[in-house]
Amino acid sequence: MSRNDSTEPDHAAKALITAAYRGDVETVLAQLAEGAAVDARDCDGDTALMLAAERGHVELVQVLLEAGAEVDARNLIGDTALMRAAENGLTAVVKLLLAHHADCNAGNNINCTSLMRAAYRGHVDVVKELLAACADVNACNAFGNTAATLAARNAHSEVESLLRKHHDLNPVASIQPKLRAARR
């Protein structure tokens, strides 16, 4: 098992992960300089990037990406940094991750995407960013829900309306699932 795959991080990795959670850029830089693996994981499989992203530490997310953090790394339940930022309504972090080519259509272990998470929580600005990055409005999670149905279920009518309008205006929306199936 490589150092990056270990579920029991060494001292430097623990310090890196803790500093990322706290948003402590100086300590993260020091730990990276001392040889901590940028993609070291905690016991849940979370990387420093995931923890910084979910807490909105924009500067730290930038530092980690520049240090070579894997933008689409997944934890034990399949979550990515983008999913975490989207769920928490952190538009600036979402933009930064998308600028570094984060996969906006990645699904976790139950196929819940970043768009679904943002819609479920009613984060209009994040939904707009994800749609601009070509997030699939037709994707369904393991329970058959789309982002629009999740928004509707939680009374986020503005998000639901935006998603349904985007679906109606997207001429390729109806063929996207067929294209994905053909690639498999």
Q: What is the pLDDT of residues 34-77, one digit of tens each?
A: 999 999 999 999 999 999 999 999 999 999 999 999 999 999 99
pTM score, whole prediction: 0.86
Domains of the chain listed by start with CATH number: 1-70 (1.25.40.20), 101-184 (1.25.40.20)
Is 107 strand, coil or helix? Answer: strand
Query: Which is nearest to 108 in space by CA: 130, 134, 135, 76?
Result: 76
Query: Which is nearest to 176 in space by CA: 113, 126, 120?
Result: 113
Q: What is the pLDDT of residues 149-176, one digit of tens each?
A: 999 999 999 999 999 988 765 444 444 4
Mean predicted lDDT score pLDDT of the chain:
89
Distance (Å, rounded) from C-alpha 139 to C-alpha 36? Answer: 37
Burial pattern 153-181, b for ≥16 Cβ within 10 A else e, equals eeebeebbebbbebbeebeeeeebeeeee
